[in-house]
Amino acid sequence: MTEPQGTETERRLTVFLVDDHAMFRAGVRAELGAHVEVVGEASSVAEAVSKIAAIEPDVVLLDVHMPDGGGRAVLDAMRRSHPHVKFLALSVSDAAEDVIGLIRAGARGYVTKTISPDELAAAIRRVADGDAVFSPRLAGFVLDAFASRPDVPVADPELDQLTNREREVLRLLARGYAYKEIAKELFISIKTVETHVSNVLRKLQMSNRYELSRWAADRRLV
């Protein structure tokens, strides 16, 4: 029987998934299986912090918005105690304040969920090697912020009133998504979308989606 060529196998990178949508985590796990070793997953900040500390993966794929705090909370809890673990944000959001906030908190990169499996695998390897990785249009946000340009908002008192989920709904609404499309994108029901929109209108004291769209565009959320 012939021995296979080469006796050493390159160590597969270990990756941990943090996202509050089980269906999305399952899809990422399946898509990345041929490229890396997915060693764990979590759906909440507390679960993520506990498991990442125990497993110590090479790279953590981190959702930005989750009900109990999201990626920023995970980074704040982990970056000092586990500086060798690299974090790559993977989110539906491509808003400037989300990108800048996660990078300032310690993430090594930020890509959107439209990325292909091969591109995501390549991004993970680059982050593990110490590079910074961004989806094409997001790099400009980071350059602007770290050049101390004032036209990239990082904090906004009005925006801070909104929950993470309300921001996601607002962003998609401002892009022209129908309620049904928002529900599908965020894995929630149409009724839940309607509730979030009503809450946003009330908090911002606006009367319709067109006012919300202009408000979001002024803050570069679209």
What's the CATH number where 193 sits?
1.10.10.10
Helix axes 190-204, 164-174, angle to 10 degrees: 90
Residue 175 in any domain: the answer is yes
Residue 3 in any domain: the answer is no
Same domain, 36 and 133: yes
Rounded to an integer, what is the distance from CA 180 to the centroid of its chain? 22
Residue of 30, 66, 54, 76 lying closest to 163 (CA atoms): 66
Range of the domain at 179: 159-219
Same domain, 139 and 195: no
Residue 1 in any domain: the answer is no
* Terminal-residue alpha carbon distance, the chain: 60
Same domain, 125 and 210: no
Same domain, 142 and 164: no
Same domain, 118 and 197: no
Same domain, 139 and 180: no
pLDDT in the model for residue 205: 87
Q: What is the DSSP track for 151-193?
A: TS-S--HHHHTS-HHHHHHHHHHHTT--HHHHHHHHT--HHHH
Say how far apart CA 15 and CA 32 lie, in whole Å: 9
Tens-level pLDDT at each residue, the chain (222 residues): 444 444 334 578 999 999 989 999 999 999 998 889 999 999 999 999 999 999 999 999 999 888 777 888 898 888 778 888 999 999 888 777 788 788 888 888 899 888 899 999 999 999 998 888 888 777 666 666 555 544 444 455 677 788 878 888 888 888 888 899 999 888 899 999 999 999 999 888 888 888 888 788 776 676
Same domain, 138 and 165: no
By the 8 A CB rule, do 128 and 107 touch?
no
Say how far apart CA 202 and CA 119 lie, in whole Å: 40
